[in-house]
Every structure is written in structure tokens, then in C-alpha cells.
Amino acid sequence: MGNKNKTISFRVNEDAFETLREIAEERDISLSAVFRDYVDTLVAHDGQVQVVPEHELEQLRNGEDESFPPKVKVPKSFVREHERLELEAEHLREQLEEHKQYVNYLREQLEDENEEVIQLEDLDASEADEPSFRLG
């Protein structure tokens, strides 16, 4: 069974709505995408999401000794989907190559057959040389 998209509907006050709209405009995404991003984050972290003001986040980052390159936990579903898409892309590239080879084969066949084609202009020219007969 595939995942079906579901609709969530709720009300917010006008100030919160305007703030959310500004966030969406800053990110150059739709208002719906703001909510989808939040829901995806919430689901990916099993509901354990904490909102931290930016200045506190900077303090946390400066206090930690982060290793390089940075490490990020990615949900297994994301990794599986990425691998599936890579395999599909590889398969499509192989199909494209096969189609290109087939098109080249057909072009070669067409070029070989062009030598045997009688052009209509040639037929018209040869008929003009011959007398026409009318039954009358």
C-alpha cells in the first residue's frame, strides 16, 4: 500500500498567520510547504523537536567542539528513497542508451534503403519525355 496524502485543517489568529506568511516569503516557499517542513521534522524526530531562539543556538554551537565534517542523522526512509531514486535513474540512463542505439540502427537502415528509393521528381521528368496517349 502506498502512502496517501492527508489534509490537516486548523485555525490560527491573524497575527500568527501573517508571521507564517512572512516566514514563507523569506524562504521563497508556499505557506503549505512551511507546515510540511515542520511536520516532516516533527515526524523524523519522533515528536522530540525543541524550538530554540537563534542567539541561544549560536551559543550552543560556539560552546560545542564540533568535528569536521559535521555529522547529520538522516531518517532511514530518506536513505532508502534516495537509493531507490539512484537505481531508477541508472535504469533510465541504460534505457536511454538502448533507445539511442536503436535510433542509430534505424537511421543506418534508412540510409541503406535511401539508395533504392525512386524519387517522384525523377518519375515526373521521365513521363514528360514520353508521349501521352489519349483515348477518345
CB 106 within 8 A of CB 100: no
Copy the grid coordinates of residue 24.
Answer: 514563507
Place of cell 483515348: 135
The predicted pLDDT at position 130 comes to 60
Residue 134 belongs to some domain of the structure: no
CB 66 within 8 A of CB 57: no
Residue 136 belongs to some domain of the structure: no
Total count of domains within the chain: 2
The predicted pLDDT at position 64 comes to 59
Residue 129 belongs to some domain of the structure: no
CB 52 within 8 A of CB 60: yes
Residue 95 belongs to some domain of the structure: yes
**pLDDT tens string 14-30:** 998 899 889 889 888 88
- Coil, strand or helix: which one is 11? coil
Residue 63 belongs to some domain of the structure: no
CA 127/CA 134 separation, integer angstroms: 14
The predicted pLDDT at position 82 comes to 92
pLDDT (tens, 9 = 90+) of the chain, 136 residues, equals: 567 878 888 788 999 889 988 988 988 888 888 888 888 888 888 888 777 787 887 777 776 555 556 678 888 898 899 999 999 999 999 999 999 999 999 998 888 776 666 677 777 666 555 656 566 5
Residue 123 belongs to some domain of the structure: no
Residue 96 belongs to some domain of the structure: yes
Place of cell 516532516: 40
What range does the domain containing 28 cover?
Answer: 14-53
Model confidence, pTM: 0.36
Residue 38 belongs to some domain of the structure: yes
